[in-house]
Amino acid sequence: MRSGIAGTGSYIPECRVTNDMLAARMDTSDEWIVSRTGIRERHLSAEGTAAMAAEAARRALEDAGMTAEELDWILVATVTPECFFPSVACQVQEALGAKKAVCYDLSAACSGFLFGLQTADAYIHTGMARNVLVIGAEAMSRLVDWKDRSTCVLFGDGAGAAVVTAVSAGGIRTGVLGCDGSRGDSLICSTGHSADGIPFLEGTGEDGEAAPTSLAMDGREIFQFAVRTVPEVIREALAQAEISTEDVSLFLLHQANARILTSIGRSLHVPMEKIPENLAHTGNLAAASVPVLLDEVNRAGRLQRGDTLVLAGFGAGLTWGAMVLEW
């Protein structure tokens, strides 16, 4: 049994922060941020990851014409849960009343939604599930160091969701995922946990205070990784589907940086009209990036039944993934 996307939804919080608003608080400028990244504004969440995820999910269910009780599984891709437990997925289950759904979170940073879609596809393909809700949700504003201008200007908050369901034709055709743990240090954020102060563990520290969390990024390394790996993984997914870039209507790519998108377009010889951008008004939404973009193009009427789409993500881990699907 194949799977396809029956409905999409997204949620972007109300509080809008422009580059000029950041420049009023730290040593940066609209010119620096726009020229390096293409980002003009981002939105910050007072409500948190689970509430945004639940709202995006309600909108996706409505778009799919499905009730929460019909969901077999809820998968939430996030690196910014409010709690280590319960999972965001369990919190979403409660908010929606999706009583029979099995729920868990998965962590693959900005590739998380691709990992979730691929997992949903596998569950449906093997008959373990019929309807799977896949969500990417992030409150990156709670993770970044607001004193570090080199990273805090890049991210925003939001959530996107897709209802994945069994279909008899079309749907997900191919998916390719990859990871390289040896390059984990190039984009890293620790939990702040340490062995300090734990009784019975000798010599690890005295005071029991947790180390601060900190997001650290080697921007150039990530740039190189993205522009090299994303075209490769897209070519691989297209080759498996036995189609070429010309057969693809839209390439929905992780929205980290406009220069990365341009470079990927150039490398694949794809015109930029086929690579939609929304990062100017969202910033980098990590795992929420691809599903929010998907919902935006869906609601804008840019997707016709039978269109071939490519979805691709890349991020910390390092992780990456691409998928070919027929709308």
Interacting residues with ligand ACO (CB under 6 A) = 28, 32-33, 36-37, 110, 149-150, 153-154, 187, 217, 219-220, 222-223, 256-257, 259, 284, 314-315
Nearer to ligand ACO by Cβ, of 12 and 33: the residue is: 33
The Cα–Cα gap between 190 and 200 comes to 23
Is residue 43 part of the annotated active site? The answer reads no
Nearer to ligand ACO by Cβ, of 220 and 269: the residue is: 220
- Spot the catalytic one: 110, 189, 257, 278: 110
Residue nearest to ligand ACO (CB): 219
Q: Tell me which residue of 169, 104, 99, 91 sits closest to 134, measured CA to CA.
A: 104
Please, what is the minimum distance in Å from the beta carbon of residue 218 to ligand ACO? 8
Nearer to ligand ACO by Cβ, of 7 and 112: the residue is: 112
The Cα–Cα gap between 213 and 36 comes to 26
Please, what is the minimum distance in Å from the beta carbon of residue 30 to ligand ACO? 10
| Structure letter (DSSP) for residue 71 | -
CA distances from 94 to 51, 61, 91, 130 (A): 11, 15, 5, 20
- Spot the catalytic one: 131, 257, 278, 284: 284
Is residue 269 part of the annotated active site? The answer reads no
- Spot the catalytic one: 19, 43, 131, 254: 254
CA distances from 115 to 109, 136, 190, 322 (A): 10, 10, 22, 9
Its sign, for the CA torsion 59, 113, 274, 40, is: positive
Is residue 131 part of the annotated active site? The answer reads no
Please, what is the minimum distance in Å from the beta carbon of residue 315 to ligand ACO? 4
Q: Tell me which residue of 108, 90, 16 sits closest to 54, measured CA to CA.
A: 90
The catalytic site residues sit at 110, 254, 284
